[in-house]
Amino acid sequence: GESVGLHLPTLSVQEGDNSIINCAYSNSASDYFIWYKQESGKGPQFIIDIRSNMDKRQGQRVTVLLNKTVKHLSLQIAATQPGDSAVYFCAENPSNTGKLIFGQGTTLQVKP
């Protein structure tokens, strides 16, 4: 797998490798976090979410890790496939508000 530092705009991985996309969030009051995937020409699509009372959540081939101490969120994609190529956004929801604050996005490129 390939680990990246906080917000690299582009991540290139080999098909079959694991991908790790990182995100730093800004608001200590945020208690809900979401990862979205956006393919070219489409709207963002929900991947996985996590609430602040958890530090890890797993889905199908994806895992989200939350470190509240350093305000860091990561998305791990196992066995990355060409169909995973997209822009990935993290988003935070400050507690008791309707706001959703998006990160800058990371473009994941999967090489065959």
Partner 1 sequence: EAQVTQNPRYLITVTGKKLTVTCSQNMNHEYMSWYRQDPGLGLRQIYYSMNVEVTDKGDVPEGYKVSRKEKRNFPLILESPSPNQTSLYFCASSKLHNEQFFGPGTRLTVL
Instruction: Please give the residue ranges that form the binding site for partner 1 (CB under 8 A).
Output: 32, 34, 36, 42-46, 49, 89, 91, 93, 98-105
User: What's the min distance (Å) between Cβ of 16 and partner 1?
Assistant: 28
Distance CA 45, CA 71 (A): 23
Query: DSSP secondary structure string, 44-86?
Result: -EEEEEEETT-SEEE-SSEEEEEETTTTEEEEEESS--GGG-E
User: What's the min distance (Å) between Cβ of 15 and partner 1?
Assistant: 27
User: What's the min distance (Å) between Cβ of 18 and partner 1?
Assistant: 24
- At a CB cut-off of 8 Å and minimum separation 6, what does 79 contact? 16, 17, 18, 61
Residue (8 or 79) nearer to partner 1, CB: 8
User: What's the min distance (Å) between Cβ of 104 and partner 1?
Assistant: 5
Q: How many helices (H) and strands (E) does the chain have?
A: 0, 10
Residue (45 or 81) nearer to partner 1, CB: 45
Residue (17 or 49) nearer to partner 1, CB: 49
